[in-house]
């Protein structure tokens, strides 16, 4: 650790934005404290694979301490931020500790939001953390077990009815993979039910799935989902969700397993800054990603609301990495007494996977769908996974899953979380 | 599924005994219901690797349904047995269902026992299930985090003090691996503590560790543990355990992490049979493994108390597999009207691993220790892991861990379990 005189940078959040900011400051004369509630960096783009039993939790996560072990100017602190006092320049942790900073990088990301319907949360879990993923995996696997044990046909059908609310990339991935599990993975494993009779519905309130893609790719994704066995309903919002099902267009649909991929809200830490925020709670930052009136406080990643060319910078991993790296440059400029540069998002394209051998890709006007897009998606994701070992294991798991239709992590762990 | 007229065999427990019995009956004209609380068969000999973050849960577990998908005469039932009515020949499940049997195979194994000190349980978790292993992993990883965050030197030391109670194979494996984590795996990752200053103590009430091995190998294991950095105390029993430490020989030892590997007791299902049981609660069976006075009920695996040549058949995986296969033969004989054969345990030898490149092996008079024994242990364990995929992944993880001293599953999941 570098002793006292160096300026102290506190980075809150070890996701893409926070970790990239931290690593970009590795040669600067600062001392950094990286605070996170989890002990690991999570490769969030593959989280749906843990939720659907294709990968195990350690396949897509690496301990933050391990990633940063050779970066001497960083200290990793496992802890939860309970308050930020921007006037006094300090961060309060839930265990009572108070950390003072010269520069603060807030990169605590997003959480799922139920648009005022918090009562739906226990019945329609969202997917943001590894614990969420293992909870969803348990629910999905248990649903088939319950269906097998049920004597009443209506009860059985409700256990074999799955719904995913929200037709963005996560919703599409979950629905496509659930259909694959029902149709292929569980083949021959049950004696009383036929898992392939399971119904997987994807409900999107907007007019089309994958609305961040060009319309032609949305239409292709819609068709590919249909081929995989997913029933897609667009233009209709869910009106109610409870333990037995949901209501749409005034009609009740029995479904014991409803997954929530419809809305994200910014991390509540954004509200501690006394800064302007947009409707989703994201902090509206200056051009250099600092908070208005607080040049020593930066916000990066999903928590930052950044407008560029009349559009919002999307909440995707490449944007978070770019913001993280930018904040490091801004801090460096400020320490050197230079003006801070403005952030500029470079759009690297847009990918979404749909299921077995199906994906859509939109990269600088190149539009792909189907098998080719899927290979492209696979290569990009394996390439970006942190750490050689993870990449190799993930690749082997995928090759195996591809050949055998098997998903190796079909293990029910723990008890259901209390609602 | 084979229809009605075939005799119904209920197998309770999908561990080595139950699964081997089930598979051995694959060509017989019976219909089998395999009941287990978990959806997976667990390769218990490697459970300590999950507890110490070397392997992830799905690496050592496979869904029972998947293993048995092609065996048409088996139905797998996820459920908890709440009662056995041997006079009415039926098994009650916790969900209210009642299953009638013609033959019952009880193979529900063992659980950990605190010898009347149940108050120790929340402070000294044992290792029997994947949930146990993930709980222990969380405690061990959190202890280093807490030590790093502690300001008080005594508090810090107590978080860096680990104890394993019980010097059998599980205790030795856990202690040896904890020492390796402290000395090697966490190197360079902390800024305020030196993980290699952690103390790992192994406490064994009997006169030596690994008492099921010849004395010369116990002595070698003792020395190898010392070389790995484990402080071994034999001949002294723990007198008390609480959240802050334990008491031994009237002296209080601060230790925030105490793991329990001292005692096993038979599954409580054994008590539902109205059969004679030994001190550990195991059912004292007839020579053919049936229950006295109940020729249609068999007990196999850790739940069975079997005497042979004046010694107890040990509670190890090979014995459980042999008993499972024997019960299948006995049921076959009974269906054919032949007398049932007597069970005879074939001792395949005894292996225990101690840590990095250290193990002891005692196979038919061949006694090995150190690196050669470790390779032998490794080959045997990888060979016996169910399923080609698991074997390959586990092998890659081990080769990687061996080269790098790294343990890839260092991910803290979930919240601590309620005491």
Average pLDDT over residues B237-251: 96
pLDDT at position B419, please? Answer: 37
pLDDT digits (tens, 9 = 90+) for A27-36: 999 999 999 9
For residue A15, pLDDT over 80 is answered with yes
In a domain, B229, yes or no: yes
Q: Pairing mode, if any, of strands A103-106 and A294-299?
A: parallel
Do A75 and B410 make contact, defined as CB atoms within 8 angstroms? no
Q: For residue B388, what pLDDT is reported?
A: 62
Domain-embedded: residue B195: yes
pLDDT of residue A295: 96
- Mean pLDDT of all residues in A5-30: 96
CB–CB contact A397 B393 (8 Å): yes
Is there a single domain that holds both residue B125 and residue B253?
yes
Please state, for a pLDDT cut of 70, what percent of chain B lies above it: 96
Report the gap between the CA of A332 and the closest CA in chain B (Å).
24
Mean per-residue pLDDT of chain A: 92
Q: Which residue has the higher pLDDT, B103 or B389?
A: B103
Q: Does A181 touch chain B (CB under 8 A)?
A: no
A374: Cβ–Cβ under 8 A, 6 or more apart, which residues?
A353, A354, A356, A357, A358, A359
- Residues in B closer than 8 angstroms to A70, CB to CB, are 188
Domain identity same for B242 and B182: yes
Domain identity same for B276 and B312: yes
CB-CB neighbors (< 8 A) of A192 in chain B: 75
- From A284, A316, A335, the end of a domain falls on A335
Residue of A nearest to B55 (CA): A58
Q: Inform me whether the pLDDT recorded for B397 exceeds 90.
A: no
Examine the domain organization and report whether A146 and A230 are in the same domain: yes
Chain A contact for B33 (CB, 8 A cutoff) = no
Task: Say which range, A400-404, B68-72, B213-217, has the weakest mean pLDDT.
Answer: A400-404
- Which domain-ending residue is among A335, A365, A397? A335
Between CA B382 and CA B384 the distance in angstroms is 6
Q: Given a cut of 50, is residue B2 above it in pLDDT?
A: no
Instruction: Looking at the complex, report in whole angstroms how far the Cα of residue B284 sits from the nearest Cα belonging to chain A.
Output: 33
Q: Are residues B213 and B233 in the same domain?
A: yes
Decide if B65 contacts A190 (C-beta within 8 A).
yes
Nearest to B326 by CA among B4, B6, B24, B77: B24
pLDDT digits (tens, 9 = 90+) for B366-378: 999 988 998 898 8
Q: How far apart are CA B316 and CA A28, in angstroms?
A: 56
pLDDT of residue A419: 36
CB contact under 8 A, A65 and B189: yes
Contact B412/A at CB under 8 A: yes
**CATH code of the domain covering residue B230:** 3.50.50.100
Report the C-alpha gap between B340 and B329 in whole angstroms: 8
Place of tokens 């349904």: B65
Angle at B38 between CA B33 and CA B41, to 5 degrees: 80
Cα A328 to Cα A26: distance, rounded to the nearest angstrom: 10
Inspect the interface and report whether the beta carbons of B393 and A408 lie closer than 8 Å: yes
> Given pLDDT bands bounded at 50, 70 and 90, which one contains residue A387?
low
CA B242 to chain centre: 24
A192–B413 C-beta distance less than 8 A? no
Residue B173 annotated as catalytic: yes
Question: Which positions in chain B touch A189 (Cβ < 8 Å)?
Answer: 63, 65-66, 69, 76
A86 shares a domain with A139: no
A396 to B392: CB separation less than 8 angstroms, yes or no: yes
The predicted pLDDT at position A4 comes to: 52
Query: What's the rounded Cα separation, in Å, for the pair A73 and A24?
Result: 11
Interface residue of A413, A416, A417, A418 to substitute, partner B, most B CBs within 10 Å: A413
Look at residue A310 and give its three-state secondary structure: coil
Inter-chain residue contact B411 with A190, CB threshold 8 Å: no
Mark which residues 68-87 of A lie under 8 Å from B by CB.
Answer: 69-70, 75-79
Nearest to residue A89, comparing CAs of A35, A9, A23, A24?
A9
CATH of the domain at B292: 3.50.50.60
pLDDT tens sequence across A181-199: 999 999 899 999 999 999 9
Say yes or no for a CB contact (<8 Å) between B414 and A131.
Answer: yes
For the cut 50, the answer to whether the pLDDT of residue B418 exceeds it is: no
Q: What is the pLDDT of residues A75-106, one digit of tens each?
A: 999 999 999 999 999 999 999 999 999 999 99
Task: Report CB contact under 8 Å: B1, A191.
Answer: yes
Query: Which residues of chain A neighbour B396 with C-beta distances below 8 Å?
Result: 392-393, 396
Marked catalytic residue, from A80, A173, A215, A231: A173
Selected residues 97-116 of chain B with any CB under 8 Å from a CB in chain A? 97
Counting the structural domains of chain B, the total is 2
pLDDT band at B411 (very low <50, low <70, confident <90, very high): confident
Q: Locate the chain B residue with the closest alpha carbon to A189.
A: B69
Q: For residues B305-323, give the mean pLDDT.
A: 95
Q: Which stretch of A122-136, B169-183, B224-238, B394-408 has the lowest confidence by average pLDDT? A: B394-408
pLDDT exceeds cutoff 80 at B401? no
Q: What does each C-alpha distance from A398 to A145, A381, B169 come to in angstroms?
A: 25, 12, 35
Domain assignment present for residue B65? The answer is no
On the 0-12 / 13-18 / 19+ scale of CB atoms within 10 A, B81 is buried
Same domain, A280 and A178: no
Whether residue A396 and residue B397 make contact (CB cut-off 8 A), yes or no, is no
Residue B342 lies in a domain: no
Give A40-74 pLDDT, tens digit per residue: 999 999 999 999 998 889 889 999 999 999 999 99
Measured CA distances, A82 to A91, A97, A113, B237 (Å): 8, 10, 20, 43
pLDDT given at position B415: 65
Interface test with A, best of B404, B413, B415, B418 (most A CBs within 10 A): B413
Examine the fold and report which residue of A228, A262, A296 is the final residue of a domain before the chain moves on: A262
- Residues B91 and B171 both lie in one domain: no
Closest to A134 measured CA to CA, from A21, A83, A58: A58
Does B395 reach chain A within 8 Å, measured CB to CB? no
Contacts of B397 in chain A (CB under 8 A): 393
Whether A143 is covered by a domain: the verdict is yes
User: Would you call A188 and B70 a contact, using CB atoms and an 8 Å cutoff?
Assistant: yes
A37 in contact with B at a CB cutoff of 8 Å?
A: no
Question: Is residue A241 in some structural domain?
Answer: yes
Q: What is the predicted ipTM?
A: 0.91
CA torsion sign for B169, B172, B176, B179 is positive
Closest Cβ opposite residue B413 in set A75, A134, A410? A134
B113 Cβ partners below 8 Å, 6+ apart? Answer: B263, B264, B265, B280
Residue B3 has pLDDT above 70, yes or no: no
Same domain, B137 and B235: yes
> Which chain A positions have a beta carbon within 8 Å of B404's beta carbon?
389
Dist. CA B303–CA B162, nearest whole Å: 31
Q: In percent, how much of chain A has pLDDT > 70?
A: 96
In this prediction, residue A388 carries a pLDDT of 62
DSSP string, A346-380: ----EEEEEETTEEEEEETTEEEETHHHHHHHHHH
Q: Which of B61, B66, B130 sits opposite A189 (nearest CB)?
A: B66
Tell me if A392 is assigned to some domain. no
B61 CB within 8 Å of a chain A CB:
yes
**Which of A203-212, A384-393, B248-257 shows the lowest per-residue confidence on average (mean pLDDT)?**
A384-393
A/B interface, count of CB pairs below 8 Å:
129
Q: What is the pLDDT of residues B88-144, one digit of tens each?
A: 999 999 999 999 999 999 999 999 889 889 999 999 999 999 999 999 999 999 999
| B contact test, residue of A3, A35, A39 with most B CBs within 10 A | A39
B137 & B85 share domain: no
* Nearest-by-Cβ selection for B58 from A1, A396, A411: A411
Question: Do residue B207 and residue B269 come from a single domain?
Answer: no
Express as a percent the part of chain B with pLDDT over 90. 79
Containing structural domain, residue A16: 8-37+79-112+264-335
pLDDT (mean) for B60-77: 94
Rounded average pLDDT over A258-271:
93
Give mean pLDDT, residues A151-169: 97
Q: Would you call A149 and B95 a contact, using CB atoms and an 8 Å cutoff?
A: yes
The confidence score (pLDDT) of residue B262 equals: 92
Name the β-bridge partners of B41.
Answer: B62
CB contact under 8 A, A58 and B56: yes
Tell me which chain A residues have a C-beta less than 8 angstroms from the C-beta of B390.
408
- Pairing type for strands B304-305 and B294-299 reads unpaired
Rounded to whole angstroms, the Cα distance separating A259 from A279 reads 23
Strand, helix or coil for residue A236: coil
Q: Do B172 and B292 have their domain in common?
A: no
Q: Which token pair is A333?
A: 């400029």
Q: Is the per-residue pLDDT at B4 higher than 70? A: no
- Compute the C-alpha angle A268/A273/A276, nearest 5°: 90
Shortest CB distance from A411 goes to which of B40, B192, B410?
Answer: B40
pLDDT at res. A157: 97
Residue of A nearest to B141 (CA): A39
Whole-angstrom distance, CA of residue A406 vs CA of residue B32: 25
| Confidence (pLDDT) at B356 | 79
Which residue in A69, A149, A397 is closest to B189 by CB distance? A69
**Would you call A58 and B190 a contact, using CB atoms and an 8 Å cutoff?**
no
Q: Tokens standing for B123?
A: 């402070």
Which residue in A has a C-alpha nearest to residue B389's C-alpha?
A400
Query: In B, which residues are within 8 Å of A389 by CB distance?
Result: 400, 404, 406, 408
The chain A residue lying nearest B35, using CA atoms, is A149
* Pair A238, A165: CB distance under 8 Å: yes
Looking at residue B197, what is its pLDDT? 95
Q: What is the three-state SS of chain B?
A: CCCCCCCEEEEECCCHHHHHHHHHCCCCCCEEEEEECCCEEECHHHHHHHHCCCCCHHHHEEEHHHHCCCCCCEEEEECCEEEEECCCCEEEECCCCEEECCEEEECCCEEECCCCCHHHHHHCCECCCHHHHHHHHHHHHHHHHHHHHCCCHHHHHHHCEEEEECCCHHHHHHHHHHHHHHHHHCCCCCCCCCHHHCEEEEEECCCCCCCCCCHHHHHHHHHHHHHHCEEEEECCCEEEEECCEEEECCEEEECCEEEECCCEEECHHHHHHCCCECCCCCEECCCCCEECCEEEEEECHHHEECEECCEECCCCHHHHHHHHHHHHHHHHHHHCCCCCCCCCCCCCCEEEEEECCEEEEEECCEEEECHHHHHHHHHHHHHHCCCHHHHHHHHHHHHHHHHHCCCCCCCCCCCCCCC
Give the distance from residue A414's alpha carbon to the nearest chain B alpha carbon, in angstroms. Answer: 6
Of B80, B145, B173, B204, the active-site residue reads B173
Residue A414 located in a structural domain: no
């Amino acid at each position: 650790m570098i002793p006292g005189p160096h300026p102290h940078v506190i980075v809150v959040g070890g996701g893409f934005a926070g970790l990239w900011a931290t690593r970009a400051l590795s040669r600067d004369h600062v001392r950094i404290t990286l605070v996170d509630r989890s002990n690991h960096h999570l490769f969030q783009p593959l989280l749906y694979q843990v939720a659907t039993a294709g990968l195990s939790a350690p396949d897509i996560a690496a301990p933050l301490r391990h990633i940063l072990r050779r970066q001497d100017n960083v200290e990793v602190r496992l802890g939860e931020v309970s308050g930020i006092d921007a006037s006094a320049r300090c961060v309060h942790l839930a265990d009572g500790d108070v950390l003072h900073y010269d520069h603060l990088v807030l990169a605590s990301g997003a959480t799922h939001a139920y648009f005022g319907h918090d009562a739906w949360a226990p019945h329609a879990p969202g997917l943001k953390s590894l614990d969420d993923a293992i909870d969803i995996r348990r629910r999905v696997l248990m649903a088939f077990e319950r269906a097998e044990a049920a004597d009443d046909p209506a009860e059985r059908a409700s256990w074999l009815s799955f719904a995913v609310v929200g037709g963005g990339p996560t919703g599409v991935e979950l629905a496509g993979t659930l259909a694959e599990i029902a149709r292929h993975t569980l083949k021959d494993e049950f004696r009383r039910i036929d898992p392939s009779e399971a119904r997987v519905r994807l409900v999107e309130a907007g007019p089309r799935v994958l609305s961040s893609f060009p319309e032609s790719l949305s239409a292709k994704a819609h068709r590919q989902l249909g081929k995989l066995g997913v029933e897609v309903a667009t233009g209709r919002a869910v009106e109610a969700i409870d333990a037995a099902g949901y209501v749409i267009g005034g009609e009740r649909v029995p479904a014991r397993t409803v997954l929530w991929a419809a809305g994200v809200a910014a991390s509540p830490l954004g509200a501690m800054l006394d800064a302007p925020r947009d409707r989703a709670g994201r902090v509206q930052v200056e051009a250099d990603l600092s908070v208005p009136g607080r040049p020593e406080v930066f916000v990066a990643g999903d928590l930052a609301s950044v407008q560029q060319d009349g559009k919002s910078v999307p909440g995707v991993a490449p944007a978070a990495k770019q913001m993280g790296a930018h904040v490091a440059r801004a801090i460096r400029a400020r320490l050197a007494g230079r003006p801070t540069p403005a952030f500029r998002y470079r759009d690297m394209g847009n990918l979404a996977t749909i299921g077995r051998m199906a994906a859509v890709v939109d990269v600088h006007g190149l539009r792909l769908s189907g098998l080719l897009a899927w290979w492209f998606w696979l290569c990009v994701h394996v390439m970006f996974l942190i750490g050689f070992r993870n990449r190799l294991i993930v690749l082997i798991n995928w090759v195996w899953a591809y050949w055998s239709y098997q998903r190796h992590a079909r293990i029910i762990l723990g008890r259901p979380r209390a609602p």
